């Protein structure tokens, strides 16, 4: 009886470890890695003034391989009548869908944490390189 209890525990342990990994949030370094992967594909509109007002949030839904399944600009109402903001939003959508920057390299064991991400495209914080 004791042997079978140990066998059942051993059989459950790997799945338990996987479940624990899935429940862990993404680390700051993993979030920064996503930003670094997408940034080279983000071509912010040239000559745009007041970059801080052109901040766009884009929600992306990812497949297990890190490829983008869907992407939507959040707060669509802000885009109406603002061609510069619309251009910034389009640039963000192009970046997340650009094959040069996809699929994203993310830890597969944390898929439940990164399958839906919100990316903050803030040109006032744009870093070069």
Half-sphere exposure of 73 (CA within 13 A, CB side): 21
Question: Hey, what CATH class is 2-125 in?
Answer: alpha beta
pLDDT tens-digit map of 39-54: 999 987 666 666 667 8
Q: Are 32 and 39 in contact (CB under 8 A)?
A: no
Q: Are 57 and 119 in contact (CB under 8 A)?
A: yes
What is the token pair recorded at 24?
Answer: 């862990």
Show me where the domains of the chain are located: 2-125
pLDDT at 71: 97
pLDDT tens-digit map of 72-98: 999 889 898 888 899 999 999 999 999
pTM for this model (two decimals): 0.74
pLDDT tens-digit map of 5-43: 444 444 443 444 444 444 567 888 888 889 899 999 998
CA distance 9 to 4: 9
Burial of 55 (0-12, 13-18, 19+ CB in 10 A): middle
């Amino acid at each position: 009886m004791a042997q079978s209890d140990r066998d059942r525990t051993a059989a459950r342990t790997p799945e338990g470890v996987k479940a624990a990994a899935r429940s862990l949030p993404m680390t700051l370094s993993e979030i920064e890695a996503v930003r670094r992967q997408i940034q080279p594909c983000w071509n912010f509109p040239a000559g745009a003034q007041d970059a801080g007002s052109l901040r766009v949030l884009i929600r992306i839904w990812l497949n297990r391989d890190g490829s983008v399944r869907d992407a939507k600009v959040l707060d669509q109402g802000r885009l109406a009548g603002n061609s510069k903001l619309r251009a910034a939003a389009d640039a963000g959508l192009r970046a997340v869908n650009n094959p040069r920057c996809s699929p994203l390299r993310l830890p597969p064991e944390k898929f439940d944490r990164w399958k839906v991400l919100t990316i903050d495209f803030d040109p006032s914080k744009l870093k070069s390189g």
